[in-house]
Structure 1
Amino acid sequence: MRKRLKMYILVREEVPLGKAIVGVAHASLACYLKYQNASETQQWLKGPFYKTVCKVSDAEFEKAKQETDWVVMTESTLNHAETVIAFKPRADYPSYFHYFRLFK
């Protein structure tokens, strides 16, 4: 059985809802554009292309930045703060990713 490829998108919890929605949209597209030629991304595009959007603390955000293959979005109206990080689609993530809170 083929493993499910997924793009994780993490939003800092203090980001206002409207800015978070825009950041997630931008991060998803930026991540796709950066990694569009990667074999995992090509496979992910064959569908279904799963995404998981989570709300994280500053510490969780910084820890996730230690992983590989991601893009970070900043928000000019929040003093260019890093607000959202998206990870290249992959089948396996570190186990701690599975404990992030879903963005609701």
Structure 2
Amino acid sequence: MDQEAAPKPAAPLKMYILIRDSVPTGHAVLAAAHASLAAYLRFQHTPEVAEWLSGPFYKAVCRVSDAEFEQGRACEDHVVLTESSLGGQEVAIAFRPRREWPKAFRFFRLYK
């Protein structure tokens, strides 16, 4: 008897937030919070955010070099955050939640 393989469950939606590693820890924590809210506000009317909010709503906050920050910027559907107390420096990028990510995102270091 042939049995069809059960379909693979879809990967969960995940939001990535990239924080420059040059940002001091206190500012980085604020940047991550602001980035999450900014991405939600920018993309709140998309089907991905509606599904993501139904849970679980995964986020990966990564600490990245300047080169990795620029590499991340090439990925579509993002919002860049600046910090006025750091002279308007770009400190974070937050992305619309999605299932599939460019391969480079797997190698970004999680913020610890």
TM category (shorter chain) comes to over 0.9
Cα distance in 1 for residues equivalent to 2:83 and 2:96: 21
Q: Which residue of 2 aligns with 1:50?
A: 58
Displaced runs of 4 or more, over 3 A = none
Q: In structure 2, the residue corresponding to 1:41 is in which secondary structure?
A: helix
Cα distance in 2 for residues equivalent to 1:97 and 1:81: 22
Q: In structure 2, the residue corresponding to 1:68 is in which secondary structure?
A: coil
Residue identity in the other structure for 1:74: T
Q: In structure 2, the residue corresponding to 1:67 is in which secondary structure?
A: coil
The two structures have a TM-score, normalised by structure 1, of 0.98
Unaligned runs of 5+ in 1: none
Q: Which residue of 2 aligns with 1:14?
A: 22
Q: Are 1:77 and 2:85 an aligned pair?
A: yes
The two structures have a TM-score, normalised by structure 2, of 0.91
Q: CA deviation at 1:3?
A: 1.6
Identity over the aligned pairs, expressed in percent?
A: 54
Q: In structure 1, the residue corresponding to 2:59 is in which secondary structure?
A: strand
Deviations 1:31-84 (A, max 9, x none): 001100101111101100000000000000011111100011100011100001
Q: Which residue of 2 aligns with 1:30?
A: 38
Unaligned runs of 5+ in 2: 1-8
Aligned Cα root-mean-square deviation (Å): 0.5
Q: Which residue of 1 aligns with 2:106?
A: 98
Cα distance in 2 for residues equivalent to 1:3 and 1:102: 19
Q: CA deviation at 1:2?
A: 2.3
